[in-house]
Copies of this chain bind each other. A is one copy, B any other.
Amino acid sequence: MRKTQTLRLTRQRSIILQELQNLKTHPNADEIYEIVRKDIPRISLGTVYRNLEILSDIGQIQKLELGGTVKRFDGNTENHYHIRCVHCNKIVDASMDLIKDLEKNLNGNSGFTILDHRLEFLGICRDCEESLSNLEEEIAKPM
């Protein structure tokens, strides 16, 4: 949890936020670093990590902790659902309304105070579908 302190709006912080809000994708820290580097060539990856952490702490962006080992970030701070390609790990927003009161379906006493939920669909994206079927044709060919 972040201490109550006066945060400063530095060029680095504001550009990271701005770029993230403009994107419809769900980049990881390194991808954000590469994008912001076009504006601030000498920015460091450490600064990117620190600011992503701060911005998500204060609710200006969303840290996505979904499938995969790498953290991703989202300029859209509303809870919404995602679809992830199990093959290439691409993530897109799911066009589906939020299910309210989903936690009412929980039976018994879990001992948890439920705050929210995350829903992720797993699937195969069109690109991977195509490359997989090409691969199958290739394998089926006699040598």
Q: Within 8 Å CB of A86, what residues of B?
A: 115
A55 at the interface (CB under 8 A from B): no
B126 and A122 form a contact (CB under 8 A): no
Q: From residue A72, how far is it (CB to closest CB) to chain B in Å? A: 11
Secondary structure call for the A interface: mixed
How many identical chains are in the complex? 2
A122 and B113 form a contact (CB under 8 A): no
B107 and A114 form a contact (CB under 8 A): no
- Given A65-B66, A65-B67, A129-B113, A108:B121 Cβ within 8 A: no
- Given A66-B65, A118-B67, A118-B120, A111:B125 Cβ within 8 A: yes
A106 and B96 form a contact (CB under 8 A): yes
A122 and B129 form a contact (CB under 8 A): no
User: Would you mind naming 10 contact pairs between A and B with Cβ atoms under 8 Å apart?
Assistant: A66-B118, A67-B118, A69-B70, A69-B71, A85-B112, A106-B121, A111-B126, A112-B125, A115-B124, A118-B120
